[in-house]
Structure 1
Amino acid sequence: MSFRTTSWRRSSLSSRCTEQGAGVTMRRSEFLRAVDTEFQARASSLVNDLGLSALRGRTALEALADGTPPREIWLALCVEMDVPENRRHGVGRLEPRGH
């Protein structure tokens, strides 16, 4: 079961959350896609249950609810789960549509 069907994703959190800075923006939808792609079956439990050291022990879900930028949460999750550097940046984005 994909974590995308869990109740936290359907919450009132804005899907327009973005992080500005250093030319990097990550929407909440991109964060969700990145987590789902990288962690597959474990995605839901990681987002809901794993306390992230870089986020003062908060889970990704708690950090999203507190307004933490999705990119910051994604990078904290990557560090905690030892995701290789080459799989951390630019993930979650869809390919541009052709004209």
Structure 2
Amino acid sequence: MKHSELSQAFVDAFGEYQGPALQRDLALTEFGARSASEAAADGERPQQIWLAVCEAMDLAEDWQFPQRRDRPTRRV
């Protein structure tokens, strides 16, 4: 997963407005309570960040690798 795909995954899963807000604000315990944006800026791998988001937000397994399939429909 690329950084741009991480941002798109947030939009696809949570919508145009909520997705970027979650990317900025959701504290991920796997990354010391850093947000996805902070973790990415610190050099963490986008796929690992996204998997932590999937866990934190209880997303279905088919959301774990969105870059490997057609764009999913929004979850919410």
Specify the TM-score bucket, using the shorter chain as the normaliser.
0.7 to 0.9
* Distance (Å, rounded) in 2 between the aligned partners of 1:29 and 1:94: 16
Q: Report what 1:82 is aligned to.
A: 58
Shift of residue 94 of structure 1?
7.5
Deviations 1:42-93 (A, max 9, x none): 112111111001111000010011000000110001100000112212x135
* Distance (Å, rounded) in 1 between the aligned partners of 2:63 and 2:9: 9
RMSD: 1.6
Question: Which SS does the other structure have where 1:73 is aligned?
Answer: helix
Larger Rg: 1
With normalisation by structure 2, the TM-score equals 0.81
Q: Which amino acid aligns with 1:70?
A: P
Query: Where does structure 2 lack aligned partners over 5 or more consecutive residues?
Result: 71-76
Q: Are the counterparts in 2 of residues 33 and 92 from structure 1 also a CA contact under 8 Å?
A: no
Structure with the larger helix share: 2
* Distance (Å, rounded) in 2 between the aligned partners of 1:46 and 1:32: 10
Q: Report what 1:72 is aligned to.
A: 48
With normalisation by structure 1, the TM-score equals 0.63
Query: Where does structure 1 lack aligned partners over 5 or more consecutive residues?
Result: 1-25
* Distance (Å, rounded) in 2 between the aligned partners of 1:39 and 1:83: 10
User: Identity rate of aligned residues, in percent?
Assistant: 38
Q: Report what 2:74 is aligned to.
A: none
Deviations 1:8-43 (A, max 9, x none): xxxxxxxxxxxxxxxxxx111111111110111311
Question: Which SS does the other structure have where 2:13 is aligned?
Answer: helix
The count of aligned residue pairs is 69
